[in-house]
Amino acid sequence: MTLTENLSRYFGYDDFKEGQEKIIQAVLNGEDVLGIMPTGGGKSLCYQLPALQMKGITLVISPLISLMKDQVDALTEMGISSTFLNSSLNDATYNQRLEGIQKNQYKLLYIAPERLNANSFLALSKQLNIAMVAVDEAHCISQWGHDFRPHYQEIPRFIESLPHRPVVAAYTATATVKVTQEIKALLKLRNPVESIIGFDRPNLFYQVVKTGDKFKYVTDSIRQDFQDKSGIIYCATRKTVEGLTEKLTAKGFSAAAYHGGMRPELRQKNQNDFIHDRVHIMVATNAFGMGINKPDVRFIIHYNMPQNMEAYYQEAGRGGRDGEVSHCTILYSPADIVKQKRLIQLNQSSPEREKLLFENLQYLVDYCHTNECLRKKILEYFGETPTFERCENCGNCLDESEMMDITIEAQKILSCIYRLKNRFGLNMIISVLRGSKNKKILDLKLDALSTYGIMTDHTSESLREIIMTLVAKDYILVTADEYPVLKLTAAASRVLKSDEKVFHKKHLVEMKAVKNKKQSKVKYPIDFDEILFGLLKALRYSISQEKEVPPFMIFHDATLKEMAAYFPLDQESFLKISGVGQAKFENYGDLFMKEIKVFVDTNQIEIKERNERASTPIQEAMVEKESRSDSYKKTYDFYTKGCSLDEIARERGVTRNTVIGHLMRCDQQDKRVDWSNFLDEAKEVLILKAIEKTGLDLLKPIKEALPETCSYEDIKIVIHKNGLQ
Ligand code: ADP
């Protein structure tokens, strides 16, 4: 079998992702490799695929015990024989596996680093033909990394003890230059072929939201954009986790909690429910996430400020591992910063470390207040030099709100701080500027200052926003004391002397809600049928519950979407779908094709021939092209010419369902659509009656309660027309 044959046969892919081929070819040439690729970059395939081609077994060293089982389950689904050895196994199973390894039953063996030099394994390893040692999360070997694991330092001793030195391959998603050098030196990599792919995760949409009502924001946002989609909400404390989970479940959301203070069994249960899609929202502290490789997390909300940029990038990075869009939102509130500062102080680290922690936190505060591109800010933090000024796909780049000159406001604030002799905190400064008559102000005679009451026309929130923006722009410094004090920096004098102007977003200064909600511009590259996609998801879910594996191990969302776009009905076309390998076809092909066939027949869908799989990887094709974003307008043009659904579908080369989707979008944007053109009244009455009986949660029961003549499309139109969802 050639490399590409195996890529297609086992993994169901036709192309490599960036960097994969170079690494794999080098490994097959017997060279050591170092792959630094972002989360979701496809590191596993870099060792799994060559492992199939090489004679002998590949050892994969991984620190995350919980992931080993998942990886082995996923490989089993693909028809690749593998196993794992770690402390979770009892003696009998352990020995049984050792025997299996000796009998060459496996192509891959996942092993925890502390097991390598155990006598039983050392003895066995001498008799094995070890083709490659792949070190996953290789940064764990470095004391300078963020996740040092002392056992990793035993890896080189193990490799040296082997009669034949195998190929050594190291992989990580996060490594500074210093850590990279350490990985190479400590693992004794020999002239490794390197593939370093930047930190950027183009499918993650970053935004910072300033809202007075976080709970409302969360519930509105999930209802509008993430119904039935998986997401994580990170909170700073266990108490917030518990409170928020309770409030969400009380409102009917499918949410579960996760934090370090819970009973381990309950925590594990909640985690499993999330991974198996039995629960959609995980409300968690930062204890959640290590070792979770759920690929289809569609939103990550930080209900409170994260601790620093590293933590934020790790946590936000858990979204969109499958390469599809995920929204990463920080809900900003100034009170959270004060909380984080208190936490740093309570930790009582050394003065240098404390200084570093404060600096790191400040970077994040600046991130929340900047008007520049958020992606650029993140990449710069990690030492990259982005080639763009604006990514055109983050909350800031898409924010078209008006900028206003706030130089005068800034001058008033800065001079107030000056008059207060750099001795007071945020609240006091706001009170003086707003002319408060509180006792402390009167006692200290601050009402006699020339800056007293000069900003009564601003609300406290607006002043807080402007002041924090001045902090982010380095005109004001916030001290790290128990009661933080605001001081002017040298740069402030330039504003005070009118040598420098200051600008900020008008709606933020005025504290008005933004009308146009920002959404990622990145879209899935193909038009797919949403109803069929929903049906296939339901089928996948029922299989997954029966087999007790997470749904994503059966097929990824992207794979189901392709099925819902190309309606494959025979082996040849089914195998062309990206993510369908031979084993998956044999195990699930019939079930899925049956579901597709019923859908195609009831909806009289004309199937277009699909010659090849999409030739570009999803990420590359993701940014929506101008023509695609206008697609629904073209549909509308046909509609206004009086064409029927079928005529529009034929002309546009899409399904009738897609046409309906386009028209709904037009309708929402105030383009009039008369739905009665597509639906007779009698059917509508029938459908409304059925909905009354079955509820709106699933379409299938509604359909089943209706005569054959009512299609899914009819139901969809009725729901939309009557504003039921
Ligand atoms: P990482 O370990 O780098 O975070 P994974 O190995 O989990 O990433 O891969 C991320 C996702 O990309 C997985 O869903 C995987 O199936 C998919 N993937 C890997 N290689 C390819 C490829 N060549 N084409 C399409 N998808 C791929």
* Span from the CA of 588 to the centroid of ligand 1 (angstroms): 21
Contacts of 485 (CB under 8 A, 6+ apart): 422, 423, 424, 425, 478, 479
Using the atom order of ligand 1, give the atom closest to the CA of residue 578.
25
Residue 626 has pLDDT above 70, yes or no: no
* Span from the CA of 78 to the centroid of ligand 1 (angstroms): 14
For the segment 56-84, the average pLDDT, to the nearest whole number, is: 92
Is 311 found in the same domain as 216? yes
The residue among 156, 173, 196 that closes a domain is: 196
Residue bearing the CA closest to ligand 1, atom 27: 42
* Span from the CA of 321 to the centroid of ligand 1 (angstroms): 8
What number of residues does the chain have? 725
Number of domains in the chain: 4
Residue 153 has pLDDT above 60, yes or no: yes
State in Å, rounded, how far the first CA of the chain is from the last one: 51
Residue 179 has pLDDT above 60, yes or no: yes
Using the atom order of ligand 1, give the atom closest to the CA of residue 39.
4
The residue among 180, 196, 212 that closes a domain is: 196
What integer pLDDT is reported at residue 613 of this predicted model? 39
* Residue to probe by mutation, ligand 1, list 62, 75, 199, 321, most atoms within 8 Å of CB: 321
What does DSSP assign to residue 89?
S
What integer pLDDT is reported at residue 145 of this predicted model? 66
Give me 242's structure tokens: 């518990």
The residue among 146, 161, 196 that closes a domain is: 196
Distances (CA, A) of 551 to 541, 557, 564, 604: 6, 9, 17, 29
pTM: 0.75
What integer pLDDT is reported at residue 515 of this predicted model? 47
Is 545 found in the same domain as 495? no
Is 256 found in the same domain as 190? no
Is 258 found in the same domain as 152? no
* Residue to probe by mutation, ligand 1, list 39, 45, 524, most atoms within 8 Å of CB: 45
Q: Tell me the pLDDT band of 512, cut-offs 50, 70 and 90.
A: low
In the predicted model, what is the mean pLDDT of the chain? 88
Contacts of 133 (CB under 8 A, 6+ apart): 58, 59, 61, 155, 158, 159, 166, 167, 168, 169
Residues 13 and 479: their CA atoms lie apart, in Å, by 54
Residues 280 and 447: their CA atoms lie apart, in Å, by 53
Contacts of 335 (CB under 8 A, 6+ apart): none
* Span from the CA of 585 to the centroid of ligand 1 (angstroms): 19
Which of 5-9, 312-316, 516-520 is the least confident region? 516-520
What integer pLDDT is reported at residue 517 of this predicted model? 60
Is 227 found in the same domain as 365? yes
For the segment 652-670, the average pLDDT, to the nearest whole number, is: 78
On whether residue 517 sits in a domain, the answer given is no
What does DSSP assign to residue 676?
G
Dump pLDDT digits (tens) for 87-113: 888 999 999 999 999 999 999 999 999
For residue 504, give the CATH number of its domain: 1.10.10.10
* Span from the CA of 322 to the centroid of ligand 1 (angstroms): 7
* Residue to probe by mutation, ligand 1, list 4, 6, 17, most atoms within 8 Å of CB: 17
Comparing 311 with 550, the larger pLDDT belongs to: 550
Is 344 found in the same domain as 224? yes
On whether residue 547 sits in a domain, the answer given is yes
Listed in sequence order, the DSSP H helices in 325-350 are 334-347
Beta strands 230-234; 297-302: pairing state = parallel
Residue 696 has pLDDT above 80, yes or no: no
Residues 472 and 379: their CA atoms lie apart, in Å, by 18
Dihedral over Cα of 420, 426, 427, 433: its sign: positive
* Span from the CA of 323 to the centroid of ligand 1 (angstroms): 8
Residue bearing the CA closest to ligand 1, atom 9: 42
Dump pLDDT digits (tens) for 577-589: 999 999 999 999 9
* Span from the CA of 152 to the centroid of ligand 1 (angstroms): 24
Residues 693 and 702: their CA atoms lie apart, in Å, by 8
Residue 374 has pLDDT above 90, yes or no: yes
For residue 346, give the CATH number of its domain: 3.40.50.300
What integer pLDDT is reported at residue 120 of this predicted model? 85
Residue 289 has pLDDT above 80, yes or no: yes
Using the atom order of ligand 1, give the atom closest to the CA of residue 37.
3
Residue bearing the CA closest to ligand 1, atom 15: 42
What integer pLDDT is reported at residue 612 of this predicted model? 43
Element (H, E) at 168: strand 167-172
* Residue to probe by mutation, ligand 1, list 44, 60, 616, most atoms within 8 Å of CB: 44
Residues 147 and 381: their CA atoms lie apart, in Å, by 19
Q: Using CB atoms within 10 Å of the CB of residue 27, give its burial: 0 to 12 exposed, 13 to 18 middle, 19+ buried.
A: buried
Residues 362 and 366: their CA atoms lie apart, in Å, by 6
What integer pLDDT is reported at residue 509 of this predicted model? 82
Contacts of 682 (CB under 8 A, 6+ apart): none
Q: Of 204, 289, 301, which Cα lies nearest the Cα of 248? A: 301
On whether residue 590 sits in a domain, the answer given is yes
Pocket lined around ligand 1, Cβ cut-off 6 Å: 13, 15-17, 20, 37, 39-45, 293, 295, 321-323, 556, 617
Residue range(s) defining the domain that contains residue 343: 204-381
For the segment 292-314, the average pLDDT, to the nearest whole number, is: 90
* Span from the CA of 20 to the centroid of ligand 1 (angstroms): 10
Contact 666, 636 (CB under 8 A): yes
Residue bearing the CA closest to ligand 1, atom 23: 16
Comparing 333 with 380, the larger pLDDT belongs to: 380
Residue bearing the CA closest to ligand 1, atom 10: 40
Comparing 254 with 604, the larger pLDDT belongs to: 254
* Span from the CA of 353 to the centroid of ligand 1 (angstroms): 37
On whether residue 633 sits in a domain, the answer given is yes
Which 3 state secondary structure label does DSSP give 149?
Answer: coil
Q: Of 169, 209, 225, 188, which Cα lies nearest the Cα of 20? A: 169
Across 261-271, b (16+ Cβ under 10 Å) vs e yields ebeeeebeebb
What integer pLDDT is reported at residue 608 of this predicted model? 63
What integer pLDDT is reported at residue 443 of this predicted model? 93
Contact 349, 456 (CB under 8 A): no
Cα 697 from chain centroid (whole Å): 26
On whether residue 270 sits in a domain, the answer given is yes
Q: Tell me the pLDDT band of 32, cut-offs 50, 70 and 90.
A: very high
Is 444 found in the same domain as 414? yes
Which of 32-36, 226-230, 346-350, 478-482 is the least confident region? 478-482
Dump pLDDT digits (tens) for 533-572: 999 999 999 999 999 999 999 999 999 999 999 999 999 9
Q: Tell me the pLDDT band of 65, cut-offs 50, 70 and 90.
A: confident
Is 442 found in the same domain as 365? no
Q: Which amino acid is at 387?
A: T
